[in-house]
Amino acid sequence: MLFFSRFNCQSQNLNTLEVKRIYSSEADYEKANPSDIKNSVSTTDKSIQIFNQGSLTQQINRSSIPPDLNSFILSPKGDYFVAFEEAEKATDYLYFFRSDGNLLSKHLVNIYPNVKYSTNGEYVIVFNSYGSDIFLFDKSGNLSFTCDYTDLIKDKSKILYNVFFSENGNDLLINAGNDAHLVTTKDRVIKFKTSVGRVIDGDFRSDKEIVLKTASERIGLIDLKILSKSNGLILDTMNQAKRIELTINGVVVFKNSGIVEYEFK
């Protein structure tokens, strides 16, 4: 009971989250949440293997994929993946494949790609890690949005750290410098600008909130910030966690004092 009280006192005033469950160890958390094991891709000289929650579900003959491709990013549901050649030079092409290895599309980009997905896997977000280009593709590899982020935020001095799209593709969150800018993709209007620090990971969790994992003041630790999607107001914060996992309905915070799973109110 003391363990519960010590952690609960940090969360009793949260505006957006409430405690769902408390775990005594990471093993207990993983045992209780097997569905949280992420899909993954593994490669050998002969095959590309796709795993769904730890189980092998697809095995693609390596010879059917262009030999220079060495980076494979699997969609959240494991139904398709993006592949490219990761090297010291900029990447020429992005490839979109179904999970059975059939090619969906191929795009000339000439960037150093950072690839991620919307939570529902319907969109692929790609941005240049050493430049200013941002691309949005649908799951078939069709390009639906592209921009230079400095044109959107009207500031060429801020380094681009991260980019996130809403599940419907209508809103774009740009982390440049210490700021988060929410921009509409249709008319390219800035809805808000909020100081949040450097964003490590994040997501649009509903029509109301945006969840961000940011670099903490202490090296090696991370903070949690939950923003209002309507105006950028920071609704909740948690500081200096060892690890934070974003789940479908909430977040899991790992601290020295324990592991707490929260769900949105």
Q: In what order do the strands lie in the sheet with 258-264?
A: 17-23, 258-264, 250-255, 243-246
Where on the phi/psi map is residue 13: left (φ > 0), alpha (ψ -120 to 50), or beta?
A: alpha
pLDDT tens digits for range 185-218: 999 999 999 999 999 999 998 778 999 999 999 9
The residues facing 190 across adjacent strands are 183
Residue 6: pLDDT band with limits 50, 70, 90: very low
pLDDT tens digits for range 211-247: 999 999 999 999 999 999 999 999 999 999 999 998 8
Rounded-to-integer distance, Cα 255 and Cα 12, Å:
16
* Alpha helices per DSSP H over 1-45: 2-8, 26-32
Which tokens belong to 50?
Answer: 């796709």
Q: Model pTM?
A: 0.86
Residue 37: pLDDT band with limits 50, 70, 90: low
Q: Which CA distances in Å does 88 have to 85, 111, 113, 204, 259?
A: 10, 11, 12, 32, 39
pLDDT tens digits for range 123-161: 999 999 999 999 999 999 999 999 999 999 999 999 999
**Hey, where are the domains in the chain?**
1-33+200-265, 38-155
Is domain 38-155 in CATH 2.40.128.630, yes or no? yes
